[in-house]
Amino acid sequence: MADATIVVQDVRKRFGDVVALDGVSFEVEAGTVLGLLGPNGAGKTTAVRILTTILPISEGRASVLGIDVAKHPESVRLRIGLAGQYAAVDEVLTGRENLRLVGRLCHLPKDESGARAEELLKRFGLSDAGDRSLKTYSGGMRRRLDLAAALVHRPPILFLDEPTTGLDPGSRLDLWAIISELVADGTTVLLTTQYLEEADRLADQIVVIDHGQVIAEGTATELKGRLGSTHIEVNVPLAQIDRARGALASVGEVALADTANGVAIQVADSGPAVIAAVRALDAAGIDVEALAVREPTLDDVFLELTGHSAEAEDAEVPA
Amino acid sequence: MIPTTVDQATLSREARVHPGSVVGDALTMTWRNLLRLTRNPELIVFSTVQPIIFVLMFRYVFGGAINVGGGIPYVDFLMAGVWVQSVTFGALNTGVGLAEDLQSGLIERFRSLPMARSAVLVGRTTADLVRNVFVVIVMTAVGFMVGFNYHTSALALVGALAIVLLFSYALSWLSALLGLLAPNAETAQAAFFPIVAVLVFASAAFVPVKTMPGWLQAFANHQPVTAVINAVRVLTLGGPTAGKVVSALLWIAAIIAVFAPLSIRRYRKVA
């Protein structure tokens, strides 16, 4: 990659006996979004902490804009923004004060940090709430402010650690729109997430990690094509179930159905396959009671890749 | 266009520590902590009311029963104890504040910003020092109202208050270390309280040490709270000052010398 903005080469990180990152390598191209996907405890946050100079590296190399994070952390910090999953903003202060505080700590002159705070409040739809204490903010507003705080010094690189975890669907969509806008403006983004849908929406490239190792990488489409599988499941009268199975076998591989009167098939591509399935069922004269399409989820991807479920993995990496 | 490489000259310029921004960042963090304090008026009221209650309680409840001898009114003896007691327990705020910032993830944000790394700890302890200046002034005013008087000079009184404040600053660093070691604010509080309770009550704060059993006297006479109180007493009540003041200053210097580096080291480690 000629234009790699973030380069991670065989990075290892140990906390005592616990290996959080076990030889991770990936690159992020300038102006693109990389989604770091994995269950809790996979090492996503550790990777972000290393790249943002919060944690020292145990072995390997990592650089941001060609700057080695271990050798020149000050220079890295001048060029990155971090928004975390815990929405690290001061609860007691107002939105405006929080942004001014970050502005001052980034050494913007006083009037400029004030102007920048106004600009960001406006951009993130928080102007009216700017003088309210964060205690009165909703989860979505808090995340927007957290993201705004990461942008105060106009960093070309942005790290988003599970930016929408725990948010309601509406706030999640808002945040996705904002992130897309930033990318359109040329920001390079590294995003960690537990949601395949989020990576799918935002990321140009996805790196899947588990137990501190990269287990797959590619675009969302590539990964889904390779790993997950779309299931089509139809519910039919019990008497017709064998005939339905026969009809659908021509469309995709028959899989385990969720219900007793269901027939499920695994297909590569949902759109054309649904039409083919409906045609086959119609031609066989089956009375379809219900039809459902289930897209591959992170859990499917994980099951496929690792043999264990993403949700079951709750072990936290000690900090 | 985003530059893909940064030249060596720029890197070394950016790596240089600017004394101006070290001070500036510490002041910004002090401002932030004081601003938080003004947003929590209940905390200001209660943390001021408590020392006032102590002044009044000891003055009027125990004042009649405790005879400190030497013809010194109990309230004059008491004030040194109440000042030091208040700032000692008040030092808890430093650790609790840091533990809260750690828990909320704010420290993580600060560590990702291009700011001086020292600013979080220096700003915190400085803000607590400013708060203590306010508390000590209020207590002194209340003390005067209930009959406190110094037997020396106004300058010696100011010196006494300065020692109280320096001691509060030293204890902030001990508190900071506990706050950074504790998994949460409640634990920081629970760890700090017994340490300072022993130091305050097994000291010369409220009763003369010679009224205690011998084994306790040995401890009470050789610990920092007593050393600081003794220095404050000679500065307010009179007597040979030099030795006691030096001893108090040595304790203060020792506490800072031990706990400031430990706190800074711990701060570098916590993620």
Measured in degrees and rounded to the nearest 5, phi and psi for residue A24 equal: -95, 135
DSSP string, chain A: -TTEEEEEEEEEEEETTEEEEEEEEEEEETT-EEEEE--TTSSHHHHHHHHTTSS--SEEEEEETTEETTT-HHHHHTTEEEE-TT--S-SSSBHHHHHHHHHHHTT--HHHHHHHHHHHHHHTT-GGGTTSBGGG--HHHHHHHHHHHHHTT--SEEEEESTTTT--HHHHHHHHHHHHHHHHTT-EEEEEES-HHHHHHH-SEEEEEETTEEEEEE-HHHHHHHT--EEEEEE--GGGHHHHHHHHHTTSEEE--SSTTEEEEEES-HHHHHHHHHHHHHHTT----EEEEE---HHHHHHHHHSS-TTT--PPPP-
User: Rg (Cα) of chain A, in Å, rounded?
Assistant: 23
Q: Quick check: B14 and A75 CB within 8 A? A: yes
Structural domain ending residue among the three candidates A209, A225, A241: A225
**pLDDT tens sequence across A218-266:** 888 787 776 657 888 888 888 888 888 888 888 888 877 777 888 888 8
**pLDDT tens sequence across A128-174:** 999 999 999 998 899 999 999 999 999 999 999 999 888 888 889 98
Structural domains of chain A, count: 2
Mean pLDDT value across residues B234-262: 95
Residue A260 lies in a domain: yes
Structural domain ending residue among the three candidates A203, A225, A247: A225
Claim to verify: residue A113 and residue A197 sit in the same structural domain: yes
- Give the ipTM of the model, two decimals please: 0.86
In whole numbers, what is the pLDDT of chain A averaged over residues? 87
Largest CA distance in chain B: 81
Using a 10 angstrom Cβ sphere, with 0-12 exposed, 13-18 middle and 19 or more buried, the burial of residue A127 is middle
Claim to verify: residue A106 and residue A150 sit in the same structural domain: yes
Claim to verify: residue A286 and residue A155 sit in the same structural domain: no
B131 min Cα distance to partner chain A (Å): 17
Residue A304 lies in a domain: no
Q: Looking at beta carbons, which residues of chain B come within 8 Å of A105?
A: 25, 28-29, 110, 113-115, 119
Claim to verify: residue A132 and residue A51 sit in the same structural domain: yes
Structural domain ending residue among the three candidates A182, A201, A225: A225
Claim to verify: residue A101 and residue A180 sit in the same structural domain: yes
pLDDT at A301 exceeding the cut of 80: no
Confidence category of residue A88, pLDDT binned at 50, 70, 90: confident
Q: Quick check: A101 and B24 CB within 8 A? A: no
Residue of B112, B117, B120 to mutate, testing the A interface (most A Cβ within 10 Å of its Cβ): B112
Claim to verify: residue A264 and residue A140 sit in the same structural domain: no
| Closest by Cβ to A107, choosing from B5, B21, B271 | B21
d(CA B59, CA B76): 9
Q: Which CATH number does the domain housing residue A285 bear?
A: 3.30.70.100
d(CA A311, CA A238): 33
Residue A311 lies in a domain: no
Size of interface A-B (CB pairs under 8 A): 105
B110 min Cα distance to partner chain A (Å): 8
Cα A274 to chain centroid distance, Å, stands at: 28
- Contact of B240 with B231, CB cutoff 8 Å: no
Contact status of A131 with chain B (Cβ, < 8 Å): no
Cβ contacts of B217 within 8 Å, gap of 6 or more: B209, B210
Q: Looking at beta carbons, which residues of chain B come within 8 Å of A88?
A: 104-106, 108-109
Claim to verify: residue A260 and residue A288 sit in the same structural domain: yes
Residue A212 lies in a domain: yes
Claim to verify: residue A260 and residue A152 sit in the same structural domain: no
Residues in B lying within 8 Å of A, measured between beta carbons? 2-6, 10-11, 14-15, 21, 24-25, 28-29, 32, 35-36, 39-40, 104-106, 108-115, 119, 270-271
- Report the candidate in A89, A7, A13, A17 with the shortest Cα–Cα distance to residue A45: A13
Structure tokens at B246: 């030096």
Residue A74 lies in a domain: yes
| Closest by Cβ to A84, choosing from B5, B28, B109 | B109
The region, left, alpha or beta by phi > 0 then psi within -120 to 50, assigned to residue A287 is beta
Claim to verify: residue A59 and residue A198 sit in the same structural domain: yes
d(CA B134, CA A102): 27
Residue A312 lies in a domain: no
d(CA B225, CA B87): 11
Residue of B2, B18, B36 to mutate, testing the A interface (most A Cβ within 10 Å of its Cβ): B2
Q: Looking at beta carbons, which residues of chain A come within 8 Å of B24?
A: 104, 107
Contact status of A89 with chain B (Cβ, < 8 Å): yes
- Report the candidate in A262, A312, A268 with the shortest Cα–Cα distance to residue A289: A262
Neighbours of B232 (CB within 10 A): 28
Whole-angstrom CA distances from A68 to A107, A246, B18, B113, B117 are 23, 59, 21, 17, 19
Of the listed ranges A32-36, A44-48, A71-75, B7-11, the one predicted with least confidence = B7-11
Residue A242 lies in a domain: yes
In terms of average pLDDT, the best of A33-42, B56-65, B188-197, B251-260 is B251-260
Of the listed ranges A61-75, A264-278, B113-127, the one predicted with least confidence = A264-278
Strand order in the sheet with A188-193: A80-83, A157-161, A188-193, A33-37, A205-210, A213-218
Task: Kindly report the pTM of this predicted structure.
Answer: 0.82
**pLDDT tens sequence across B37-95:** 998 888 778 878 888 888 888 888 887 777 887 788 888 999 999 999 999 999 999 99
Residue A285 lies in a domain: yes
Claim to verify: residue A84 and residue A202 sit in the same structural domain: yes
At A250 the pLDDT is: 84
Q: Which residues of B38-69 are buried (b: 16+ CB within 10 A; e: fewer)?
A: ebeeeeeeebbeebbebbbebbeeebeebebe
User: Rg (Cα) of chain B, in Å, rounded?
Assistant: 21
Claim to verify: residue A68 and residue A210 sit in the same structural domain: yes
| Closest by Cβ to A54, choosing from B29, B106, B111 | B111
pLDDT at B4 exceeding the cut of 70: no
Claim to verify: residue A146 and residue A251 sit in the same structural domain: no
Q: Which residues of B146-155 are buried (b: 16+ CB within 10 A; e: fewer)?
A: bebebebeee
> Which residue range(s) make up the domain with A279?
230-295
